[in-house]
Amino acid sequence: MYPQGAAILRADLRGVVEEAFNQGVLYIGAKVMPPIGVPAAAGQYPKIGITAGNFLRDEVKRRGRGANYARMKRAWGSDTYTTIEYGIEVPVDDSDSADLGRFFSLEATETRRTYEQVQLAHERRVATAIMNTTNFNRITSATAYTAANADTFDLGWDIDLAKAEINNRGENASALSVVMSYDMFLRARASTRLQNRIRGTISTDSQLVLSKEAMAQALDVKEILIGAAKYDTSKQGSATASLSSIWGNTYIWVGNILPSSGPEGLMAGGAGYTLFWEQDAALFQVEQYRDESVRSNIIRVRQNTDEKIVLGT
């Protein structure tokens, strides 16, 4: 018998999940908005901008003997966060577990699938925050990035324009990240102007098949992150699936992504972070409890997060 109603942490199952990713390997949300554990469900943190901080003003004055040095005063502000709990449960019926157990571990498989569904939801929230013209300025390409325009659109030039925009805000534009959908990546790497930009450095072949690393080198950026994951827009119980790109093909994002280093990482200059309430759950928390009323082990995966843009435009 299992105790009813008491959820227990399943570190063993979580280990199975992390070693047996399937769709989960496509998710880039935790790379685009790195996780930072926070001690409370909601709170505030210090924030200071270029203007209030007087960071780029030349107020250093010549000092005479016996005189005071020029002084600078910085005005600190603050911002807030509020984590929200998300999660899903899946029952693993004893009969199904016994029957399918002849072929594979149903419990481990359902844990993996449930884990990936919570990852998918997180991926969508990150994509919504990042590919958002309310949070970030937009530069419109002169030519649409379509297959028909493969000879004329110029990703390299557009990325350079984005670099200039970031530099003009007083931010570091020397180690930027680029985020795009998989479809956009395929179009971009086949484009004539990008291939011409790269050809002089790595090959003289008439048609190059570019890796994301080669593309990053040609664009002079730190990395290319490709959002290849899809999600089913149909509702549970629908007869057919309707798949759509999580990251979409409307925008390519260019900005600073910096790894998390605790709450102090919020001030490191990264565009955004996944704040998770670490006193309540890990970034992705796997739990299990017993429900005798349906003779099932219930697999639960949850998280308590705020996908927070900390340095928008």
Exposure of 272 in the CB half-sphere (CA atoms within 13 A): 28
Position 5 confidence tier, pLDDT thresholds 50, 70, 90: low
Same domain (yes/no): 146, 241: yes
**201-255, pLDDT tens digit by residue?**
555 555 567 789 999 999 999 999 999 999 999 998 899 989 999 999 999 999 9
pLDDT at residue 130 greater than cutoff 90 = yes
Whole-number percent of the chain with pLDDT over 70: 90
Give residue 206's pLDDT: 57
Q: What is the pLDDT of residue 205?
A: 57
43 and 89 belong to one structural domain? yes
Same-domain status, 29 and 122: yes
Nearest residue to 117 (alpha-carbon basis) of 96, 85, 92, 90 = 90
The CATH number linked to 114 is: 3.90.1690.10
% the chain with pLDDT above 90:
74
- pLDDT for residue 19: 47
Q: Does residue 240 lie in a domain region?
A: yes
Given a cut of 80, is residue 17 above it in pLDDT? no
Structural domain boundaries, residue 21: 1-49+75-134+270-313
The SS3 of residue 158 is helix
Q: Tell me, yes or no, whether 208 lies in a domain.
A: yes
Tell whether 26 and 82 lie within a shared domain: yes
Within a domain: 196: yes
User: Distance between CA atoms of 128 and 185, rounded to whole angstroms?
Assistant: 19
d(C-alpha 232, C-alpha 242), whole Å: 5
pLDDT for the residue numbered 227: 97
Task: Tell me, yes or no, whether 1 and 130 share the same domain.
Answer: yes
Residue 2: predicted pLDDT: 42
Residue 273 pLDDT: 96
Same domain flag for 192 and 233 = yes
Q: pLDDT tens-digit profile of 19-55?
A: 445 677 899 999 999 999 999 999 999 888 889 989 8
pLDDT in tens, 173-204: 999 999 999 999 999 999 999 988 887 655 55
The answer to whether residues 105 and 156 belong to one domain is: no
Domains identified in the chain, total number? 2
108/5 same-domain check: yes
Residues β-bridged to residue 244: 231
Position 146 pLDDT exceeds 90: yes
In whole angstroms, give the CA distance from residue 259 to residue 34: 6
84 shares a domain with 35? yes
Q: Is residue 195 part of a domain?
A: yes
61 in a domain, yes or no?
Answer: no
Q: Over 70: is that where the pLDDT of 264 sits?
A: yes
Question: 187 with 281, same domain?
Answer: no
Domain for residue 262, yes or no?
Answer: no
CA distance 60 to 166: 26
The answer to the question of residue 60 being in a domain is: no
Q: Are residues 128 and 2 in the same domain?
A: yes
Q: What is the pLDDT of residue 4?
A: 52
